[in-house]
Chain A
Amino acid sequence: MTTTFDTGSALAISNVSKVFNKGNENEVIALSDVNLNVHTGEFISLIGPSGCGKSTLLRVIGDLTGFDSGSVQVSGKSPEDARKERLYGIAFQQAALFDWRTVSKNIELPLELAGWDKSQREVRSAELLEMVQLSEFGNHRPWELSGGMQQRVAIARSLAVDPPLLLMDEPFGALDEMTRERMQNELLRIRLDTGKTIVFVTHSIPEAVYLSDRVVVMSPRPGRITAEINVDLGERTETTRESDHFFHCVTSVREALRLHDTSGTSTSSFRGEV
């Protein structure tokens, strides 16, 4: 992948902290002094043991939850303004499709809310269905699709209004290994086609390495960023996953994770070890 970033800042996070249940006995420091900058068009992965604040960070970026101190800028705007201008699309571990809508109507939901008229919506959803290779399934109901297909619909939905930023919280977490690898390739293809900035949360080290330009390693109690590893794998091909360089990157990430793993047991929470 030849990635030439324009110099624009997609995301600028500085000294962000977030505490849940402040002052009471269940107090959790979900994010402590987090700093992160992401260029326009960059693909970064957030990785770390369960509870280290990956989802919280994503939700802070998306203005789905607030934060206590620091500053966050999404394309130079506050998270709230960015959300209101629909500058990002989001996909979760579950597809979270609306059962009472057809696949096409699910993809059209963001367009509906953005006030597109019907004929424009239909053109766009057909385009997106083609992008995720589900053209024949527009009139199906979500439950008639496999898990992988549903997740593709959710990704198409997150791309609907063509937002410059994609937030993805373990979107392939519930898929089997084969489907997962296929979806990873599709995501890379979509990224190449659209040039989106992507913030991707995962538990899988190989997945993070395979997808990203940069892997951001987090650690819990308090949730913070402990390492950033640049992945310069170039264009991904069928043999990328078997290359020495790939293994080298995987090892770097694993070591960065181990460095802050004091419990000795939490490595078991990682799936997809090589």
Chain B
Amino acid sequence: MNSKLSYLWPPILIAALFLGAWQLLVVVQDLKPFLLPAPSLIASEFSNGATLMWGAAFYTGTTAFLGLLFGTIAGLFMALLAQRFITVNKLVTPLAAGLATVPIIALTPILNNMFNITSRTPRVLVTAIIVLFPIFVNVMRGLIQVNPLQVELMRSLNAAPRTTLRILRIPNAIPFFFTGLKIAAPLAVIAALVAEYFGGPQEGLGSRIASAAANTAYGRAWAYVLAAIITGLIFYLAIIAIERLVTPRSAQLHVKA
């Protein structure tokens, strides 16, 4: 157990040093909280408002989760459709680059007008659209980047395209899918949070950060940021846990090698 956890010590030590230096800087330089609040202030705001933090994180986390779910389903569906038409891997990279430049978050005010602004719907929608792209691009890559010898083998066995999809392409795409999910999950939390800046219900982390900052409660604003970081981390770790569950460890290592 000791050796298993030993890899945890270096990051913990670095984090402790970093926080110590930060605290020291704020105290020695007598920095005002609007410039940079001390870690101790953020920590006390965080523990004082724990139930509020938890509620806000839960609200935004729910938006992020729903967006992640719908975005993933849509991305998978699109990738399965598209692989029938795009069979050349070279096309996927420019496609990915092109899609990455679309400023989707800018759609939020428009979606707010299209849907009921007092509901969660426009935020979930924006999150889903943002999630869709990394899932689509990565899964697409996994469906197309198959060993050409295995494709020939399937042909030699007289396999229909849909059989090749089921037996070769989809299993091949699973590690790529998780790569996409690991990008998409923290992105979903950021999207759900930023979408709250454009009006609507005020229960989420984004709304709380904005209103705390507007009220010059910088320690509290930073405490909500901390809650947002933790929420993103939970999403990321959940994906890693599912990945471990679905693919055996050795398989993951092997596929990446």
Residues of A within 8 A of B (CB): 59, 62-64, 83-84, 86, 88-90, 92, 94, 96, 98-100, 109-110, 112-114, 141, 143-144
Which of B24-32, B100-108, B148-156, B205-213 lies at the binding interface?
B148-156
B168 touches A98 (CB 8 A): yes
CB neighbours of A114 from chain B (8 A): 157
B157 touches A109 (CB 8 A): yes
What 1/0 mask marks residues of chain B from 244 to 257 whose CB sits below 8 Å from any chain A CB? 00000011001100
Select B149's contact among A62, A92, A110, A143, beta carbons within 8 Å.
A92
CB neighbours of A99 from chain B (8 A): 251, 254-255
Given A92-B152, A110-B157, 17 extra CB contacts under 8 A: A59-B152, A62-B156, A83-B155, A83-B158, A84-B158, A94-B149, A98-B168, A98-B171, A100-B174, A109-B167, A112-B167, A113-B157, A113-B159, A113-B163, A141-B250, A141-B254, A143-B250
B157 touches A86 (CB 8 A): yes
Q: Is B147 an interface residue (CB 8 A)?
A: yes
Q: For window 116-170 of chain B, which residues contact chain A by CB distance below 8 Å?
A: 147, 149-150, 152-153, 155-159, 163, 167-168
A86 to B157, CA, bound (A): 6
A94 to B146, CA, bound (A): 14
CB neighbours of A144 from chain B (8 A): 250
Q: For window 69-118 of chain B, which residues contact chain A by CB distance below 8 Å?
A: none
A113 touches B150 (CB 8 A): no
Can you offer 25 A-B residue contacts whose CB atoms are under 8 A? A63-B155, A64-B152, A64-B155, A83-B156, A88-B156, A90-B152, A90-B153, A92-B152, A92-B153, A96-B147, A96-B149, A98-B167, A99-B254, A99-B255, A100-B174, A100-B251, A109-B157, A109-B167, A110-B157, A113-B157, A113-B158, A113-B163, A113-B167, A143-B250, A143-B254
CB neighbours of B167 from chain A (8 A): 98, 109, 112-113
A80 CB, nearest partner CB in chain B, Å: 10
A20 to B163, CA, bound (A): 29
CB neighbours of A96 from chain B (8 A): 147, 149-150, 153
A215 CB, nearest partner CB in chain B, Å: 25
A63 to B168, CA, bound (A): 20
CB neighbours of A141 from chain B (8 A): 250-251, 254
Residues of B within 8 A of A (CB): 147, 149-150, 152-153, 155-159, 163, 167-168, 171, 174, 250-251, 254-255
A141 to B152, CA, bound (A): 22
Majority DSSP secondary structure for residues of B touching A: helix
CB neighbours of B157 from chain A (8 A): 86, 109-110, 113-114
CB neighbours of A110 from chain B (8 A): 157
A145 CB, nearest partner CB in chain B, Å: 12
A100 to B255, CA, bound (A): 10
Nearest-CB residue, chain A, relative to B157: A113
A155 to B169, CA, bound (A): 22
A64 to B150, CA, bound (A): 12
A201 CB, nearest partner CB in chain B, Å: 14
CB neighbours of B158 from chain A (8 A): 83-84, 86, 113
B161 CB, nearest partner CB in chain A, Å: 13
A3 to B171, CA, bound (A): 44
A89 to B156, CA, bound (A): 8
A110 to B153, CA, bound (A): 9
A83 CB, nearest partner CB in chain B, Å: 6
Nearest-CB residue, chain B, relative to A113: B157
Nearest-CB residue, chain B, relative to A143: B254
A141 to B171, CA, bound (A): 15
CB neighbours of A83 from chain B (8 A): 155-156, 158
CB neighbours of A89 from chain B (8 A): 156
A109 to B82, CA, bound (A): 26
Identify the 5 closest CB pairs spanning chains A and B, nearest first.
A96-B149, A100-B171, A143-B254, A113-B157, A90-B156
CB neighbours of A92 from chain B (8 A): 149, 152-153
